[in-house]
Amino acid sequence: MLQRLLTEFLKVKGVNQATVFDDRGKLLSCVGAEGELPQTERAVEMTVAALDATHGHRFGDLQEVWVEGEAYTMIDIVTPYRIAMLSGEAGNIARWRHAMDHVRPQLATTQEL
């Protein structure tokens, strides 16, 4: 089920890879180009840094992290125990977020196998 949900993200312009992992960095599911490994370690490091910044300054809860440059990354905290990451190039990252909003309930409730 997760594979099918993540495949929908590849239809969004610029998204090359969609990944879901848990709060410990354990890969739950990933779709993308063959032979391309998801950068879950980098995503966990960015999420931890962002959590530290928000908690240290009392900015509230962290919902997502956007990284824009030559490559784009969007990390979404679906639940405290489930994190989604979209990666790609030259896309409209706001559309990525819009696509995430549409499948967030399913990503949050799909059981891990």
- Please write the tens of the pLDDT for every residue from 71-110: 899 999 998 889 999 999 877 888 999 999 999 999 988 7
CATH number at residue 39: 3.30.450.30
CA dist 12 and 99 (Å) reads: 8
Could you report the per-residue pLDDT of 9-54, keeping only the tens digit for each? 999 999 999 999 988 888 899 999 888 888 888 888 888 888 888 8
pLDDT for position 112: 61
Residue 30 belongs to what H/E stretch?
A: strand 27-32
Pairing of strands 64-67, 27-32: unpaired
Alpha helices in 1-113 (DSSP H): 2-9, 40-56, 93-109
What's the structural domain count of the chain? 1
Q: Which domain holds residue 18?
A: 2-109
The model carries a pTM of 0.88
